[in-house]
Amino acid sequence: MSEASSLIPVVVDGEHREVEPEVTGVQLFESDKNIIAVRINGQPRDLYTPLHAGDTVESIALDSEDGLAIMRHSATHVMAQAVQEIYPDAKLGIGPVIEDGFYYDFGVEHPFTPDDIKEIEKHMQRIIKSSQSFRRRTVTEAQAREEEAGQPYKLELIETAEDAINAGEDTAVSQGELSMYDNVDRDGTVVWTDLCHGPHLPNTRYIKAFKLQRAAAAYWRGDEKNPMLQRIYGTAWASKEDMKAYLQRLEEAAKRDHRKLGAEMDLFSFPDEIGPGLAVFHPKGAAIINAMKEYSRIQHRKNHYSFVQTPHITKGGLYETSGHLQWYRDGMYPPMHLDEERDTEGNIVREGFDYYLKPMNCPMHNLIFKSRQRSYRELPLRLFEFGTVYRYEKSGVVHGLTRVRGLTQDDSHIYCTREQMRDELKSLLSFVLDLLKDFGLNDFYLELSTKDEHKFVGSDEIWEEATDTLAQVAEESGLELVSDPGGAAFYGPKISVQARDALGRTWQMSTIQLDFNLPERFGLEYIAADGTRQRPVMIHRALFGAIERFFAILLEHYAGALPAWIAPVQVLGVPVADTSTEYLRGILDRLDESLVRCELDASDDRFGKKIRNASKSKVPFILIVGDEDRDNNAVSFRFRDGSQLNGVPADDAVAWINTAIESHAQISSAADFCAVTPAVQPAGIPAGSAQ
């Protein structure tokens, strides 16, 4: 047999090639040091994986999304190795990749301190410099149990993995088979081993830039019934420059943290007396909420929505009909058994009912639709409510205003015919995007969440029709569309609008869900033009999502410097001296009459301190008045960037402030202000420094 006939055919990055049998990615990509793994027939694999005839091979670069994930997962192994070399009795949990980083859970006697984290990081650096290679080997269940005999959490994972392997599913430590990864030193000595399905880097030197960030307590596998472990978080990047940029983004995000801003600006709090995830909004925070609601109400009225209101509590039977008690019970507060009556001997003479705090508004909106006979002439019927709902989030999941237990949804349910469905979805998506843009969010893409094969109601045909319709509407919007397989609610697929904020972070905003199932479960009907009874289509839509969460997103997006129209205080008056206080108060009273939110700094602080405090307050318009301004019936404007407009006639100032607020523009400077106020500015008003 000739040498050529012994070669095998493969496809490498789209190119048909013939290679030696058992060749690996190491040989194929020897000249490109940025290639750290391969995808063989669609599955990520190590570079050391041998190829077979007919394989399709795609290279994975270190700086690609998949490459970063592999590098970060390899960093978890290095971290776990360092921990066990420093703390030999440490028990290993799991070490997955997360957004922008990784973590590993450890069972240790004492919590990790900041000094411990520094020591572990230094030890990791020594391991990385030693160029240890990651080598995979498959093992049987018995072999895995023998090697992990002293590791109780790994033994639990092995048991779970065996069940998954038999069911044809993957786990954190298996992909059709159990495997171990050895960290091998340059001389061939195995220095450390972990149970893992991989893939990993060729060697530790490919971990170019990493940093351990913090330690925290975490329940094993996220279950409060399990032991508490210590979790170390870290991040890793393809270059030091990338990591530096990421850490700078983190620093900026910390400055913008809505919890920090909420305390500094006196907007909201979470009193211990009320409980976790249940916020109270202070006057300034409520001012923002009310501005958001008022604008939303106006836009909904313009788009022909009917406003409704429903209670916060209901009998459990309603959620049995909807399916929430079957599919969503863990996210609901426990029931309250009420209305039971007993006689003097304790015998039940009237059965009681289980009542639940409502987690969703849709079942109650269905009852409104069903309350009387409906005609096709009423459709589409658009019901809208600011409905407060309650969801029992675990304490470890609750996070500021972005994950709460009590939340208010700007919730809408649209009932329409099959023929109206597509046009209604198109106009609805346009309405959603336009309103979000009004709040200053402009960078969007769409996500299509499809059926969870293990958690759904209704027929496959209905799901297919609903999914195809949503996909067509999303594609026609012209926005990028990405898939979220299995991410739909149990009753129907959804489009979610994803928005990027000022830091480039992505937030899920509005959701639009197409539902053929709840109308069926509730027996909803309308009388069609031909006199027959027909089932309406139901569209679920939350525009802000949760008002509390949207509040937090806006606060971080603007770093607290909200546009004037939703700012908690729109105008702050600062008199230079007491002699001008009453004059300034009169101007603020005029603004107050037009519902501008004003404050006056009438404190005993010196003028310089008042200006410094005003600059920190993030108020869009600071009106400064001295005796000369008073005598000339004028004011001076100071803006967030420190620029000023001096000697503005008081009547113009009042009119311009109202115009600027109505514009919904973000105004941070004198130039911004002049751009949205009347084109003819009074002569002789220079931009200058403070008086």
Residues forming the annotated binding site for Zn(2+)? 362, 413, 540
Residue 413 designated active-site = yes
308: nearest Cα among 228, 370, 368: 368
SS3 label, residue 449: strand
Residue 227 carries which DSSP code? P
Asked if residue 636 lies in contact with residue 647, where contact means CB atoms within 8 angstroms, the answer is: yes
Burial 472-484 (b: 16+ CB within 10 A, else e): ebbeebeeeeeeb
Q: What is the rounded distance in angstroms from the CA atom of residue 648 to the CA atom of residue 677?
A: 13
Q: Is 494 a catalytic residue?
A: yes
Answer yes or no: 362 catalytic: yes
Per DSSP, what are the bridge partners of residue 181? 136, 194
> Structure tokens of 627?
């005796």
In angstroms, rounded to a whole number, what is the distance separating the alpha carbons of residues 622 and 662?
18
Distance CA 588, CA 590 (A): 5
| Active-site position among 196, 362, 416, 598 | 362
Catalytic residue among 77, 300, 391, 451: 391
Bridge partners (DSSP) listed for residue 408: 388
Whether residue 664 lies in the annotated active site: no
Containing 119, the helix (H) or strand (E) segment is helix 114-129
Structure tokens at 413: 């349910």
Q: How, if at all, do strands 228-237 and 101-107 pair?
A: antiparallel
Paired with 508 in beta bridges are: 498
The catalytic residue among 72, 382, 494, 630 is 494
Backbone CA torsion sign across 517, 519, 522, 525: negative
Angle at which helices 65-86 and 114-129 cross, to 10°: 110
- Known active-site residue 200: no
Residues 62, 34 contacting (CB under 8 angstroms): yes
CA 310 vs CA 222, 370, 384, 420, 434: distances in Å: 35, 14, 11, 27, 27
Closest CA to 508 of 544, 459, 537: 544
State the binding site. Answer: 362, 413, 540
- H or E element, residue 296: helix 283-302
Mind giving me the DSSP string for 51-109?
Answer: P-TT-EEEEEETTSHHHHHHHHHHHHHHHHHHHHHHSTTPEE----EETTEEEEEEE-S
Catalytic residues: 362, 391, 409, 411, 413, 494, 540
